Amino acid sequence: MSAEQRAQLISFRQLRLFESVGRLHSLRRAADECSLSQPAVTQALAKLEQHAGVALLTRSANGTYLNDLGQIFYQRVSNFIRGVEAALIELGILGGADAAPMFARRLSRAKIRILLAIIAGGSFTTAAATLGLSTASLQRAAHDLERSLNLPLFHRTSDGLMLTHAGTQFGHAIQLAMQEIEWGIAEIEAALGSFNSRISIGALPFGGSLLLSSVLEEFIAAYPSVEVRLFNENAFAMMKSLREGMVDFIIGLVQQTVPPDLSVLQLARARYVIAVRHGHALLHKHAITTDDLLKYDWVVGLTGSDRWACFESLFSKSGQPRSKIFCSTHMVTRRLIERSDRLTLMTNFELQHEADRLVALPFPILEPIATMGVTMRANWTRTALHDHFIELLHRRMAQFS
């Protein structure tokens, strides 16, 4: 059974009890805090340990304490609880941060499963079919979730009952928090020498995809049982996937301004150069000017990208070339350049992978200077697998530098 499947078996109630015992070091005090009997707490924790596949607690006359594996899991459970409470505060629950723990106790995996099915399906009809429920039963469950939070999550339209934007954002935030439990189980397995989890990596077009492909084989060879999920989209779509937890981190050129909910691990600087095919007429010119560049057609990055900003800066004082093809795919750009006299901008990291096809024009340094890096969520705690993959990226970029 995978870490994901085992994580789904653990109830929110079991996680809250585990966090309470780990914090208080006492079954009795945890039972009092959660308004349960001590036998009920003991039974719930036994089920949690069964699903985790290991003992997490050490019981003695002096109290109940986390063992080494329990310490690993406790950190992830704490992240989960903080994530749920932060999602509730962002949703706008009555009482804010002070009331968040109370509202969090009203949530169950079953209720959240309903919400996530509606988000994934896009409608109550599709979600009901996925869950094997009638649409009426699903709507009753959805309204029960609203009553638990004392906030509207749905609104009626001509197409039927739909999630509000706030409801969708809340669902994504809870789903992200729930990933902590899967990572916790994966870290326990890793501590025991077993790597059967998954890693989800986003690669931005051009340099990101090239960097990913350069280290992927080595990572797979080191962890053959790990499930690797790869995603390759434009920057806007990829950042959305990162925020919603579809990808763990993103490889590629980093944004000049980093939003507060994200963080960046810089790997290396990569300056832009003007790339052309071998044998291009401009390669024989002694001193290339901007006017020379204006005579040729260009393949440029999408509007809003750093590549586009560099292109605009290059021609800020002279007007732009008459013909431009906008492209965000490295392979397409390469083929357009190597088969014509067109020009394009590439980083020197990207160009080193095309040395047999393309070459840089002798031209002054262009601005802005790009940075290759790893973009991740600001509050994210990496696993050992993530750390190892990022170490491979560091080593690869050190060779480039």
Question: Distance between CA 42 and CA 19 in Å, rounded?
Answer: 13
* 298-300/343-347 β-pairing: parallel
Mean pLDDT for 213-221 is: 94
pTM above 0.75, yes or no: yes
**pLDDT classification of 236: cutoffs 50, 70, 90:** confident
Q: Report the pLDDT averaged over residues 107-119.
A: 94
pLDDT of residue 276: 96
**Residue 393 has what pLDDT?**
95
Residue 400 pLDDT > 80: no
**Fold matches, 3-172 and 195-265+373-400:** no
Q: What span, in angstroms and rounded, lies between the C-alpha atoms of 324 and 339? A: 16
Q: What's the whole-number average pLDDT of the chain?
A: 92
> For 174-209, what is each residue's pLDDT tens digit?
999 999 999 999 999 989 988 878 899 999 988 899
Q: Hey, what are 301's tokens?
A: 């990055």
Residue 218 confidence (pLDDT)? 95
Helices within 225-274 (DSSP H only): 235-243
What is the tens place of the pLDDT at every residue in 308-357?
889 999 998 888 888 889 988 888 999 999 999 999 999 999 999 898 99
So what's the architecture of 3-172 in CATH? Orthogonal Bundle (1.10)
Asked whether the predicted pLDDT for residue 157 surpasses 80, the reply is no
- Which residue in 356, 366, 361, 349 sits closest to 280, CA to CA? 361
In this prediction, residue 130 carries a pLDDT of 92
Distance CA 321, CA 339 (A): 19
Contacts made by residues 317-320, CB under 8 angstroms, sequence distance 24+: 317/290, 318/290, 318/291, 318/294, 319/294, 320/294
pLDDT tens digits for range 23-78? 999 999 999 999 999 999 999 999 999 999 999 999 988 899 999 999 999 999 99
Q: Write down the pLDDT at residue 10.
A: 96
Confidence of residue 80 (pLDDT cuts 50, 70, 90): very high
Radius of gyration for the chain, computed over Cα atoms and rounded to the nearest angstrom? 26
pLDDT at 322: 80
Q: What is the pLDDT of residue 327?
A: 87
pLDDT for res 302: 82
Q: Where are the domains of the chain?
A: 3-172, 195-265+373-400, 272-368
| β 154-157/160-163 pair status | antiparallel
Architecture of the domain delimited by 272-368:
3-Layer(aba) Sandwich (3.40)
Q: Which residues contact 354 (CB under 8 A, 6 or more apart)?
A: 275, 334, 346
In percent, how much of the chain has pLDDT > 90? 74
Q: Which of 82-86, 160-164, 250-254, 309-313 has the lowest mean pLDDT?
A: 160-164
Q: What is the band of 257 on the pLDDT scale with cuts at 50, 70, 90?
A: confident
Domain 195-265+373-400 class? alpha beta
User: Residue 65 pairs with which residues in a beta bridge?
Assistant: 58
Q: Which residue has the higher pLDDT, 103 or 367?
A: 103
pLDDT over threshold 70, residue 126: yes
Return the pLDDT at 317.
85
Confidence (pLDDT) at 2: 81
Can you tell me which residue has the tokens 């970029």? 397
pLDDT of residue 401: 62
Predicted confidence (pLDDT) at residue 18 exceeds the cutoff of 90: yes
Residue whose token pair is 């005090």: 29
Tell me the mean pLDDT in the region 107-117. Answer: 94
pLDDT at site 92: 95
